[in-house]
Each structure stands twice: as structure tokens, then as C-alpha cells.
Structure 1
């Protein structure tokens, strides 16, 4: 009679130990809010660089140089994370470092003196951007990877990721609204970025104080404190064999190359819509639909496979993009309504976009037997930033093609607004089509990933997992 009582007590204790607290979930969301304000500020980098007198062509060169460094530092950092073993966690120590590194590097990027020679501006911009890129890697890989060390429960991971994305969406929208409204009243780019950086860093602190990496603690206890060490060859093999990780994050690369209007928000507001402040009003119109889309995504994931939801949201966004191009920008009401409708797929995609990396991690471990958390999430960060770099480089090169003149307040040539609009819309449409075609190759689903997770954790055998899977891998 005593044995069943002991087993029941042990199971109850494990459930309580594995439970992610509400404080942790809120802190996780707050970290994403702060982090994505910084990311949102970098979205204005092209506009800022041209405002301080750097030509569009040179901005593209700066972006490309920085991303060569990014291509090197992301995988290296992922490997370092899988090899370095801190006493106080796998990911938390890196997050604590990032609270200082991110705001400092962001401020340095936005305080380029306007009176210095162009060569000096280019050197400053390149070095500061490289520093920011490194600092962002320092926080981006750990904050996504930590969900795999906070809990083994797939539902808890989805919950954490959903909370993080909701806070990230809110941060992106607020940045899109706030910066165009307050930038000039606060005295320009530098003051605005300093204020937002201080506030954002404060949002990131609670996660560093309250998060607990339970899975790592359990693995150490189970293995007698031993740490797994992998060679460079193991890490390369982990990525080479993880085709779904490569498919999912490589898909947007072509889209980024073609979607030249991705960083043209303030330019379109200035030259097509009549003023920079209009960008804020358009962002306001997107808030409610985006949040509704995010909430819908969370509910739909309880009933349907999340990849199907993600895929159809992209299709809806593509259709809206076509309608937006046909409608044009002359009728402000139609423009605002179409952008507001675009908030629904935006919210859905934003919630789900990073839900697939933990799935790819489970698939990678299932295929290779290697627990490469750092490498997997470094790949996510690398592709995300590479997409941004390609979009930035493509957009500024496209600006030169349509005759853009750098300098804040400069009058553009006749017909510039129409060219700006056409390039922006057609690039988005063609890029969206290419993304959907590539994503069609992705075959992982929630049911099979759950089985892989159970197999990876020793709850079921590989034979038992494969017998129940929908697809064959």
C-alpha cells in the first residue's frame, strides 16, 4: 500500500517543480517588449542614416558588411552557448549580460555627429551596427532558447512563446506610433533613442531575476552533474540534418530580397501620404486588428495545427497586398482600412512565427540524438537578422534606382512617390508568393513533434513514436 502513495507524491512534486509561474510568464513577456522596442528602433536605421547625410548606396554597403559579421557571429555564439556551462543556468547569464549590451550599442548607433566627414560617418555606422548586431545575438538566442530549459511541456512552451509574441507585437506597434510622434518634439533621433533605450532595458530586468531553468537542473541531477560536450562536426551535422529548420527560416530570404518596401514606412508617409506623422496614425489603426489576430491565433492553435494557421495567414496577407496595390494610396480612408485589415494576419503570423524553432529543435534531437539548443536558436537568430539585412540592402539599393535624394527635408523629384509605391507593393507581392511556395515543403506538425519530444525525453521508444506519427521523417 505504501508504494502507490510514494509514486503519487513524487508525480505531484514533479508537476509542481515543472510548472512555469505567472511571474515568470509575465517577465518573459516584458523581456520581449523591451527587446522588440530595440528591434523596432533598428527598423528606422535606414531613415536615420540617410537623415544624417549617408547616401542610400552607402547604407546598403554598411548593412551588407555588418551581415557578413552576423553570418560569422551567430553560429559561433550558438556553438559557444552549447559548450560554455555557467553554474547559474544555460541561458540566463547571457540574458543578464544583454541588459547592458543592448541599450549601450543601440544608443551608439543613433548618435552619429552630423558634422563629421562622410568617411567618418561610414566607419562609425559600420562599427556601431556590428556592435549592436553582436549584442542582439547575445539576447535573441537565449530568450528563445530558454523555453526549452524552463519546461518540457509543449503546451507550456506554446504559452510562453505566445505571451512573448503578444508583448513583442505590442512593442512593435507602440514604437511605430511613438517614434514618429515624439522624435522631433524630444529633440531628434539621439534623445528619443536614449529615452526609449532606458525604458526598454528596465523592462528586460524582471526576466533575469525571476526565470528558472528547470530542465537543465533536472538533466544535471539525472546525469550526476555531467555536461554534454559536442565537437564542431557534431554542430555542423545538427544543422545539416535539420532540413525543416532550414526550410522554415530560409523561406523568407527571397521575400526579403524582393520586399524592398519593408523599411520604407517613414518614406511612404513622407512622400506618398503627406507627412511623417501619418505613419503613427496608420500604426494606430493596426493595433486592435493585430491584437485580435494574435488572440485568434492562440485560440485556433488549441484546435488546429499551428503551421496550417500560419500558412493561411500568409495567404490572406498576400491577397490584401494585391488589393492594396490596386487601390493605390490617394484615398487615405481606403489605405488605412486595408492596413488595418492587414493587422489580422500580422497578429497571427507574429504569434506563430517563432513557435516552430522548438519544434525544429525536437526534430533535430530526434534525428541526431544531439541536444543542440544553442545552435538551433542561433540559426533562428541568424536567419532573422539575415532577412532584415537583405531587406535593408535591397530597399536602399532600390531607393537609388528610383532617384532618391538623401538628407532630411530634401525635395524629391517629380514622380518619386509613384515609383516608391509601385516598388514597395510589387516587391511585397512577389516575395510573398515565393515564401508560400517554399513553406509548402515544411511537413512537421504538432502531433508528430509531441511524439518526438516524448521519445527524446525517454517517455516512449522510437518504434512507439514512429508507429503513431502522421508523416514519415
Structure 2
């Protein structure tokens, strides 16, 4: 329900500032579906690469490229921490960018092609010796994460200046994460079958062709995002550019600190769990049980899996079960996103995010108790986990924009890029720590690529996909109990900031 102050300023007129940048004359900021979809395709593009890094890169490096789990873990730690260093740099640069396209959109345009090219190169296997391959992996991965920072920080900040309306912002995030879910389905559901199909026994060739296709799609989607979005919120005209003041505002913004902690531990959870999930299928679950699962599922698909040779004798049942289960479960995330959007409007983003994060953590932890033959139990737990995670997916990103508003509301200064970039530092450190922990745990429990694992190694895989990552979610929940931007504060900020912006755009 709209509050009176919002109704008093229901105008949808905009005017351009001196940088040809649209600024709001109202707090409504109503967005067309075309713009929401166009914006969302940018995250779909990034997730063609990001989800592959999260889900398949550790397995690619150990089982195809030829690195040890320990070497891959160290690479993840160094490269992803480097990405975290890049984030505030590009956030500050984006805040100080002034073009006829705005501050943040140009970065999506400038980085589209380099992002796609490096996403492809990072999954090539060059004909080099062990040292040469390690050097190649470091160069391509470091460059990829540099360009990822240059692209994704301005992209994320763009959501904070497209609209100042809290409901529209949540709606935008919901559309965004439906697209993200579809991109995730493409990677989790189709990437491995594509690798097996194009590689025909040569996984290096299969990864190269598969990532070439996804990287080309990413470039196209980035261009669509650039051409279909507009920036409508500018900093107060009297605001002076000061990086030192921006950083001072950050560390004094308690809500920013708490969101940093949330993103840090949330992505430790995601990076560790997702990196190990394929190993769980390959080395823990029973192959014959997975084959029978695929045969039974295929009865409801009218022989589709058989026609694709996913159930044939000698097929890779682990990869195929992994893909089929993930397609089903990621589809279940889409209604979760819709539920999350509706619940957030009624109860506020913080409370919904916190509650469903707890439910998702319980579902993830239960993976530890499933026996090797329990493929149907894995399907049920995965459906419940992905629905729960779907409820949470759009909320922290919309909350990130709220934190930028909070900074402007409290300090009368807006630095959207540095606020988003600072929180994304937490995301990148989480990716670094989670990915490194996954590799080091595999190494520590005695994992050896492409052979039957010892009981100790299997135990390590089971713990690393369930109990260990869920510990990180506990810290997220604790931080959210101390986060102050609930529903009441959201609307108070929205209306007071709308009045301020109305004053300086008239």
C-alpha cells in the first residue's frame, strides 16, 4: 500500500541533467517490463560465466585441465582476492564517470567483448606442460576477474539509479533473478551434456566449444542491457566528489558493514557448496541408482533422455543426473522468486530474507545424511533448497540498493558505485575463501582425480557439500538480526529522499 507522501508526488516526468542523465522528479520510478528484462539480461550474461566458475571450474581444473586440487585452491584464493581488490577501484571510477549515457551503463558497453573473450579463454586447455598450464590459468583467470569487476560493479550499481521506488526495485530484482535462474539452468542443466556431446570423449574440446557458445551469448546480452536501460537518479548537485569522504561514509554506515558480512558468508557458502556438488554426484552417489533414476524420470519425459543417449549403456550417469536434477530444481527457484517478491512487499526484504535463509540452510545440511542410493531424496531436498533459495535470491541485491539510499539519507551524500563495490568486495572475498576451502578440503581429505575415492575422501566430499558450508550461513543470519533497514525504514527513506530529489530537479 502506497504511503500518503508517495501519493502526493505521483509524477512520472523526468528531465535531463547537464550530463544528459535522467533524474527523478518523483519517487515512483515506474519501470516498463522491457527495461526490467533488458537490465536483467545483463546478469544473465554475467552468470553464463559466473555460474560456470562456481559450479564447474574446480572440476575443470582438476579433472580436465590437469591441476591438482591444492594448486587450483591457491589459484582461486589469489585470483578472487585480486578481484576483491579491483571492486572498489572500479566502483570509485564508475562514480566519477560522466558521459551522455550516464555513469554506469558505459562500463557495460566497454567491457562486453573483453568479458566474453576471457570467459572463453579461461576454459581452454592449451598444449603446454604443467608449469605452462599453471601460468596460463593464472593469467586468464586474473584477467577474467579484473574484467568481471569492471563490468559487474557498475552493472550492480545501475539498479540503484534506475528507480528509487522500493516496490519497483524489488520487482526489478525479481525479474533479474528469474533471468539469472534461467542462465543457471543453462549452465547446471546443459553445460555438461554439451561438453560431453561436443567433446565426444575429449572434455577439453567440449569445454572450449561450450564456453565459446555461452561467451558469445553473454556479449549479445550485455549490448541489449546497455541499449534498453536508463539512469534516473543522480547524486545531489551540491555533492563534491571525494573518495576519502566516500570511504569514510562507508565505514560509518553500520548497515553497509552488516551487508558486507552477509555477502561475505553467503558467498563462502555458495562457492564451497557449488564447487563440491559435482564431486558429490561423481564420487559419492551410486551409479546404478542414478541410471535407474534417469530411466524412471524418462518415463515422464516420453523417452527424451533416451533419445539424447543420457540413459545409454556407458553414459556418464553422474553428469547426466547432475544436469537433470539441476534443471528441475532451478525451475523450482522461479516460483520461489515470485513468492519472495510478494512476501517482501508485505513483510519487508530483511525479514523474508532472514527466514528463508534459515530454511535453505536446513535443506543443504540434510545432504549429509542421504545414502548413496538416495537419488530421489537428493531430488526432493534439491527442490526444497532451490525453492527456498529462490525466495531469497533477489532480496540481498535490492537491499544493497537500500544501503546506498541509507547512505544518502543519513549523510546527504550518494556514492552508489562505491557502496555496491564495497559490498561486492565481500562477495569476492567469499568466493575466494569458499573456493579455496573447497579445493583445500578435497586435497586434505585425500582426493585424487578420476579414480575411485577412499572412504576418507568421500567423507570429506559429503561434509564439504553440506555441513561445512552451512556454518557460513549461520553468520549471515546473525548479521541480519542486527540489520536495521526493515519495512518501516524502507518507506521512510523512500519518501524523504523523493522529497529531496523533487526539490533539486525542479
Q: TM-score range by the shorter chain?
A: 0.7 to 0.9
Equivalent-residue separation in structure 2 for 1:9 and 1:78 (angstroms) = 31
Match of 2:88 among 75, 79, 96: 75
Match of 2:119 among 106, 114, 121: 106
Q: Which residue of structure 2 lines up, in the alignment, with residue 209 of structure 1?
A: 227
Matched, 1:428 2:446: no
Between stretches 79-88 and 367-376, larger displacement belongs to: 79-88
Equivalent-residue separation in structure 1 for 2:52 and 2:10 (angstroms) = 48
Aligned 8 A contact 1:19 1:151 in 2 = yes
Q: Decide whether aligned partners of structure 1 residues 245 and 457 sit closer, same or farther in structure 2, where only a CA change above 3 A counts.
A: same
Matched, 1:241 2:282: no
Aligned 8 A contact 1:102 1:136 in 2 = yes
Equivalent-residue separation in structure 1 for 2:360 and 2:478 (angstroms) = 15
Matched, 1:250 2:291: no
> How far has the Cα of 1:448 moved from its partner?
0.9
Aligned 8 A contact 1:262 1:391 in 2 = no
User: Any residues of structure 2 matched to 1:240-319 within 5 Å, and which?
Assistant: 240-254=251-265, 260-273=272-285, 274=287, 275-319=318-362
Q: Decide whether aligned partners of structure 1 residues 10 and 332 sit closer, same or farther in structure 2, where only a CA change above 3 A counts.
A: closer
Equivalent-residue separation in structure 2 for 1:261 and 1:149 (angstroms) = 33
Q: Which residue of structure 2 lines up, in the alignment, with residue 173 of structure 1?
A: 185
Partner SS state of residue 446, structure 2: coil
Match of 2:495 among 454, 459, 463: 454
Which runs of no fewer than 5 residues in structure 1 stay unpaired? 1-7, 462-473
| Structure 1 runs of 4+ with >6 Å offset | none
> How far has the Cα of 1:20 moved from its partner?
2.4
What per-residue deviation string (whole Å, max 9, x for no partner) do you get for residues 265-289 of structure 1? Answer: 2211111223222110220231332
Between stretches 329-338 and 291-300, larger displacement belongs to: 329-338
Aligned 8 A contact 1:150 1:214 in 2 = yes
> How far has the Cα of 1:449 moved from its partner?
2.5
Equivalent-residue separation in structure 2 for 1:12 and 1:334 (angstroms) = 51
Q: Which residue of structure 2 lines up, in the alignment, with residue 92 of structure 1?
A: 105
Equivalent-residue separation in structure 1 for 2:12 and 2:282 (angstroms) = 60
Give the number of equivalent residue pairs. 444
Which runs of no fewer than 5 residues in structure 2 stay unpaired? 1-7, 15-24, 200-205, 288-317
Match of 2:195 among 183, 192, 204: 183
Partner SS state of residue 36, structure 2: helix
Q: Decide whether aligned partners of structure 1 residues 254 and 95 sit closer, same or farther in structure 2, where only a CA change above 3 A counts.
A: closer
Q: Which residue of structure 1 lines up, in the alignment, with residue 171 of structure 2?
A: 159
Matched, 1:53 2:66: yes
Q: Which residue of structure 1 lines up, in the alignment, with residue 385 of structure 2?
A: 342
Equivalent-residue separation in structure 1 for 2:150 and 2:102 (angstroms) = 15
> How far has the Cα of 1:323 moved from its partner?
3.2
Aligned 8 A contact 2:41 2:222 in 1 = yes
> How far has the Cα of 1:240 moved from its partner?
0.5
> How far has the Cα of 1:391 moved from its partner?
0.8
Aligned-residue Cα RMSD (Å) equals: 2.5
Matched, 1:357 2:368: no
Between stretches 353-362 and 378-387, larger displacement belongs to: 378-387
Q: Which residue of structure 2 lines up, in the alignment, with residue 22 of structure 1?
A: 33
Aligned 8 A contact 2:284 2:458 in 1 = yes
What per-residue deviation string (whole Å, max 9, x for no partner) do you get for residues 123-165 of structure 1? Answer: 1111211111111112211222112322222222222122111
Aligned 8 A contact 1:158 1:355 in 2 = yes
Equivalent-residue separation in structure 2 for 1:121 and 1:318 (angstroms) = 37
Q: Decide whether aligned partners of structure 1 residues 255 and 161 sit closer, same or farther in structure 2, where only a CA change above 3 A counts.
A: closer
Match of 2:53 among 16, 29, 42: 42
Matched, 1:195 2:208: no
> How far has the Cα of 1:297 moved from its partner?
0.8
Q: Which residue of structure 2 lines up, in the alignment, with residue 123 of structure 1?
A: 135
Equivalent-residue separation in structure 2 for 1:139 and 1:256 (angstroms) = 19
Q: Decide whether aligned partners of structure 1 residues 270 and 197 sit closer, same or farther in structure 2, where only a CA change above 3 A counts.
A: same
Equivalent-residue separation in structure 2 for 1:258 and 1:37 (angstroms) = 20
Equivalent-residue separation in structure 2 for 1:121 and 1:176 (angstroms) = 26
Equivalent-residue separation in structure 2 for 1:363 and 1:389 (angstroms) = 28
Q: Decide whether aligned partners of structure 1 residues 334 and 362 sit closer, same or farther in structure 2, where only a CA change above 3 A counts.
A: same
Partner SS state of residue 110, structure 1: coil
